[in-house]
Structure 1
Amino acid sequence: QCSHFALFISGYQTFSDINLSDVRGTSEERDLTFKTDVLSEKLETNEQSVLVLPRRISCENPGEIFILLKEEIDEETLEIEFITDNQQIRMQTASWNKKVKYVKAPDFPAGPVYVNVCCGGVIETTAQIEYYTALEEIEPILKKVADPIAFACQALKFSSVEKVDNVLTSLLKNKIPTYEFSPFQSEEEHCHQANNHLEEFPTLLHCAARFGLKKLAAFLLSCPEATRACKITNKYGDDPESIAKKHGHKELRKFIKEL
């Protein structure tokens, strides 16, 4: 009988001494959208016979999945099936002891993954786990940062905005000796862009004007197409000069205006 299972996921390093030579896996590439929809409906009515801890798994270090059995069974009949919208992997388990089996969690991109626990080819129960990336973990934090320049100062341990300004200007000069704002656009396209741009910072000059990066702005204003860049408005209808004015960068605004 395989009616009661508990799945536990732990860090791979914790059980790094386990021999995984008996773990085997197969995968098939095909459209599994319908199957995942069925599994999703099954989860809604599924009793709490499966416990997944944690429910979220790192894509960078998936770890291992442990299957705790209420009753002993023939481990050769126990398989774990992982299903996404476009991938299906079935793996036989290895044995930790008579009632604890395990498999190494397979690699998946970020997103939901359905887990079927199968005995003798029959699905006994279904669970859902979530794969995530490290970037997804910090993205909510980054979205809350009101001032990215202040965040850069703190994260990179810069003492001031001027330091950020110097570093950005130096990097740009080294990588792009002659910066061009729009090297592949015609005059007509520039005019259209100036009135209909959908970004907050359509050029690097707009960004420099927003955060008061005077040295970076000075370098950009010496580059080809700088005059055109000064006429481009962002999605709020602001050109670099008006952006500098709006955010209190008087000296920078004057510099742009005199171009």
Structure 2
Amino acid sequence: MNREDKIDYLIDQLLAENPGYASIPRPVDIREKRRLLRSLMNVRFPGPVSPEVLKVQDELLREELEEKGVVDIKKLPAIGDEYPCTEIKNADRIILWQGDITRLRADAIVNAANAQMMGCFVPCHGCIDNAIHSAAGLQLRNECAQIMEEQGHEEPTGKAKVTGGYNLPAGHVIHTVGPIVGKEVTVQQIEQLKSCYKSCLKLAERHNLKSIAFCCISTGEFHFPNKLSAETAIHIIDKYLSTSNVERVVINVYKNEDYNIYKKLFL
């Protein structure tokens, strides 16, 4: 099968799972077909998937990853090589990188999850939770659902869980629930954000993961102030690394605003 054949096949299989999808129009353009496929993956509830569907899905996602290009964090320069970093003790182990976190080859990447811990169900939503689940594949939601079923309750803010990475270049995904900020950030929410970073680092160490890439937890849909988030992240990461076996920590930013905030903190 070529790429379009794979997309058509996967659309057919996912549409067939739900009789209510019978009226959904089939796009002609391959880009719209791919968007429909992502939407169907996003809204699909956890459940068994046939080996053939997973095989075709995995082939498609890995082809797309190859096109995007994998970024090996071992080859990225540390902030100590690029900035003065006079206040940062572990500048040789911290990396600032701007781009798509689903391209990073690391032992783990961090997902800013919600309390249900099963990914974003909004079709093609722009959040990192949606991006990570869409790139990892249907297996990720199924594993998350199993973890949550065994846990029996929503994930508390500031805590974290680890899963496989599946079709991501990262070996694992560490899912953490950040605080949701209203009009003003509270002292409790600052402590909860600190706990997110600590929980992820502790989990990485517990699983003998030597490298981890953090997204900007809570700064998007959860409205945590960007500058305060960056200051909090750097403080916790640098302090933790001083007594940790974790070798490399990537601060992954996507927006120019966050990139510029971190650069100023390092100067």
Shorter-chain TM-score tier: under 0.3
- Relative contact order, higher structure (CA 8 A, sep 6+): 2
TM-score (norm 2): 0.23
Q: Could you say which structure has the higher strand fraction?
A: 1
Q: Could you say which structure has the higher helix fraction?
A: 2
TM-score (norm 1): 0.23
Structure whose alpha-carbon radius of gyration is higher: 1
